[in-house]
């Protein structure tokens, strides 16, 4: 009889342990989801998070290192169809470019489980492009002034508009890059250093299947001799598999 009571007590303690374990796991998973879910745009990594161990700013530096390393003939930013979408793509984040101005509609196939990084509108300043600039602070001042002139931002995923896009403005650290021969930027090939500024979206991996991403932005610069404007408008039809 004594053994029965002890066994019953052990079973009760074991049951309580299982219940507390389940509660702990639920709280943990909820907390993890909260950390990685943006409060405004749930499908976007929060601007202050570190997806895959890197900040938004570090990811934008890697994005520009990637773009600058690809010759113009193969560069996805100079391609209106998406045929070059897979150029030099590696790692957990897939890079999508905008345009050097104007519209593009691209179709791409990308692997599942890849996050997606794209600039709504952005700029970078490097010593190769601006040889008169000699320090990081000079580069940063130039690129910040450039992006201060942004007048409009739009982005949507599968027809759902992303909100409060100005909160996704990101500056990169100073980074090393190597410009390809016959590069997109029209400057001599070789190593340089640069900084970037802009409005960026880092999407969590999309489910397998068809998805559409659309983004556009514009900027206007009023000068003493006239008005300079820039606009980019891109639609991606993605096949995630």
Per-residue pLDDT tens over the stretch 47-99: 999 999 999 999 999 999 999 999 999 999 999 999 999 999 999 999 999 99
Residues 58 and 19 in one domain: no
pLDDT of res. 15 = 52
The pTM of this model reads: 0.83
Residues 121 and 16 in one domain: no
Residue 75: closest CA among 93, 89, 62: 89
Residues 3 and 115 in one domain: no
Domain count, the chain: 2
Residue 45: closest CA among 154, 155, 213, 204: 204
Of the CA atoms within 13 Å of residue 96, those in its CB half-sphere come to: 33
Q: Which residues of the chain have pLDDT under 50?
A: 1-2, 10, 13-14, 16-35, 224
pLDDT of res. 7 = 53
Residues 90 and 142 in one domain: yes
pLDDT of res. 127 = 98
Residues 162 and 236 in one domain: yes
CA dihedral for 44, 122, 131, 141, sign (positive or negative) = negative
Residues 91 and 174 in one domain: yes
Residue with tokens 């879910």: 37
Residue 150, domain extent: 43-240
Residues 49 and 18 in one domain: no
pLDDT of res. 39 = 79
pLDDT of res. 44 = 98
Residues 138 and 202 in one domain: yes
Residues 123 and 221 in one domain: yes
Phi-psi region of 198 (alpha: psi -120 to 50; beta: other; left: phi over 0): left
Tokens of 156: 């949507």
């Amino acid at each position: 009889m004594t053994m029965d009571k002890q066994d019953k007590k052990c079973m009760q303690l074991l049951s309580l342990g299982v219940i507390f374990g389940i509660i702990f796991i639920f709280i943990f998973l909820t907390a993890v989801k909260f950390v990685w879910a943006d409060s405004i745009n749930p499908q976007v990594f929060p601007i202050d998070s570190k997806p895959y161990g890197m900040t938004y700013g570090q990811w934008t530096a890697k994005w520009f290192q990637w773009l600058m390393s690809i010759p113009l003939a193969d560069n996805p930013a100079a391609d209106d169809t998406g045929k070059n979408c897979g150029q030099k793509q590696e790692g957990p984040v897939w890079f999508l470019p905008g345009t050097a101005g104007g519209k593009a509609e691209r179709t791409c196939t990308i692997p599942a489980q890849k996050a997606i990084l794209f600039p709504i509108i952005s700029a970078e300043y490097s010593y190769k492009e601006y040889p008169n600039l000699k320090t990081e602070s000079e580069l940063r001042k130039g690129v910040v002034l450039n992006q201060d002139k942004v007048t409009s931002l739009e982005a949507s995923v599968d027809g759902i508009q992303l909100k409060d896009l100005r909160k996704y403005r990101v500056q990169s650290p100073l980074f090393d890059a190597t410009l390809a021969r016959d590069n997109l930027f029209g400057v001599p090939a070789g190593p340089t250093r640069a900084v970037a500024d802009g409005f960026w979206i880092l999407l969590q991996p999309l489910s397998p299947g068809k998805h559409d991403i659309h983004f556009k932005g514009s900027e206007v610069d009023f000068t003493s001799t006239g008005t300079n404007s820039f606009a980019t408008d891109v639609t991606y039809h993605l096949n995630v598999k």
